[in-house]
């Protein structure tokens, strides 16, 4: 299917803050790929906190419609949250995930060889439709005037099996890519591995179901996944070990909220109002997201070209201030374009 595509329609949702600076950088990189991919067409779409303040909706219906009916894929910049509860406002990201059933939030955390720091090459696979994100919350006042609030956390076998399947398939695919002749060396040396992240020592029922569902996917496809090592990690010790020895993880699959908290490498970042408009936001996460997008659509070579260029630029020392450099968003983007 990918090979027959004649055009590539990509919805672009810069949303708030530095999203408006880094998303155009990613667009420039995709445009520079030339004939490696079908001619891309970018469709600007509105969403976010600023949009809510202008037009009263954080996620306009038209944005959802265009994404559903016209786009092959989409890129999201970053979203600001109000610091207080604002009537009528709720996160457009969470709503988008719901509308488009974006059940898999795949977040690679990878270090670049030849740079300081630990050797990391893991992917967090975060279930993205349920858990506390179902947002079923209630509050009531008690007779003594104090308040009690309850939120529901939902875990289903279906959603858990679906995300586990994706994690196992991803582990296999990464394994195959590493084993391919001429594959670039990566930091992950062992066989494919899936780590199930949960807290079933406390949440025996809900996290118990998540864990069981993931194991079931493995057991029922033992032939296919025989080369994959399965293990598990309680979420609190996961964070500890991710600090101490991040190199022990390959693919890690987690329920929604744990997945949010543990994906601390943050391939996705916030809207960073403190540096907005200064042309110093790091565009690399967005540019690497473009690579992810292309790889997902069936253009792994194009994705590779982007990642190799980014790695090169990082090693060269051209960097925005967050990485200790002195360069602007534009300079980093152009350094990457030059190496494409």
Shortest Å distance, C-beta 280 to its own copies? 17
The set of long-range contacts for 328-331, using a CB threshold of 8 Å and a minimum separation of 24, is 328/279, 328/280, 329/21, 329/22, 329/25, 329/279, 329/280, 329/281, 329/282, 329/283, 330/25, 330/279
Pair type for strands 251-254 and 229-234: unpaired
Identified binder of ligand IPM from the candidate list 239, 268, 323, 340, rule CB under 6 A: 268
Please say which residue, 193 or 286, places its beta carbon nearer to ligand IPM: 286
Given the rule CB under 8 A, which residues bind its own copies? 81, 83, 85, 90-91, 94, 132-133, 135, 137-139, 146-158, 199-206, 208-209, 232, 234-237, 239-240, 243, 257-258, 260-264, 266, 270
Task: Give CA–CA dist 248/318, Å, rounded.
Answer: 29
Identified binder of ligand IPM from the candidate list 100, 151, 176, 202, rule CB under 6 A: 202
> Contact 315/112 with Cβ under 8 angstroms?
yes
Angle at 153 (CA atoms; ends 147, 155), nearest 5 degrees = 170
Identified binder of ligand IPM from the candidate list 64, 93, 197, 297, rule CB under 6 A: 93
Query: What backbone phi and psi angles, to 5 degrees, belong to 12?
Result: -115, 115
180's tokens: 């391919």
- Is 261 near ligand IPM (CB under 6 A)? no
Task: Give CA–CA dist 205/210, Å, rounded.
Answer: 9
- Is 46 near ligand IPM (CB under 6 A)? no
232's tokens: 């598990």
Q: x/- binding map, residues 230-249, to ligand IPM, per CB under 6 A? A: ------x-------------
Bridge partners (DSSP) listed for residue 231: 195
Please say which residue, 4 or 147, places its beta carbon nearer to its own copies: 147
Identified binder of ligand IPM from the candidate list 7, 115, 186, 201, rule CB under 6 A: 201
Give the interface segment with ligand IPM, choosing from 89-97, 109-117, 186-194, 222-230 (CB under 6 A). 89-97
Shortest Å distance, C-beta 241 to its own copies? 9
Residues forming contacts to ligand IPM in the complex (CB under 6 A) are: 79, 91, 93-94, 201-202, 236, 260, 268
């Amino acid at each position: 299917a990918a090979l027959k595509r004649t055009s590539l329609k990509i919805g672009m949702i810069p949303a708030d803050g530095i999203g408006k600076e880094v998303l155009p950088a990613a667009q420039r990189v995709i445009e520079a790929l030339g004939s490696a991919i079908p001619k891309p067409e970018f469709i600007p779409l509105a969403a976010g906190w600023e949009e809510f303040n202008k037009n009263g909706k954080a996620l306009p219906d038209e944005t959802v419609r265009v994404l559903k009916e016209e786009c092959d894929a989409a890129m999201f910049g970053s979203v600001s949250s109000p610091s207080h509860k604002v009537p009528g406002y709720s996160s457009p990201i969470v709503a988008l995930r719901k509308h488009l059933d974006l059940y898999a939030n795949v977040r690679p955390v990878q270090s670049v060889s030849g740079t300081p720091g630990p050797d990391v090459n893991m992917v967090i696979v975060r279930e993205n439709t349920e858990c506390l994100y179902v947002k079923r919350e209630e509050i009531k006042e008690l007779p003594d005037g104090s308040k009690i609030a309850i939120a529901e956390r939902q875990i289903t076998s279906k959603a858990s099996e679906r995300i586990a399947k994706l994690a196992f398939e991803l582990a296999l695919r990464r394994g195959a890519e590493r084993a391919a002749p001429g594959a670039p060396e990566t930091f992950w040396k062992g066989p494919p591995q899936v780590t199930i992240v949960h807290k079933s020592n406390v949440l025996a029922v809900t996290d118990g179901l998540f864990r069981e569902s993931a194991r079931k996917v493995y057991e029922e496809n033992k032939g296919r996944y025989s080369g994959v090592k399965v293990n598990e990690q309680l979420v609190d010790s996961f964070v500890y070990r991710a600090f101490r020895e991040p190199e022990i993880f390959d693919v890690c699959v987690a329920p929604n909220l744990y997945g949010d908290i543990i994906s601390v490498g943050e391939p996705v970042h916030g809207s960073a109002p403190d540096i907005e408009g200064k042309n110093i936001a790091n565009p690399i996460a967005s540019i690497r997201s473009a690579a992810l997008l292309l790889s997902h659509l069936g253009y792994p070579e194009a994705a590779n070209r982007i990642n190799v260029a980014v790695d090169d630029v990082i090693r060269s020392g051209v960097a925005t201030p967050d990485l200790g450099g002195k360069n602007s968003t534009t300079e980093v983007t152009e350094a990457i374009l030059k190496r494409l």
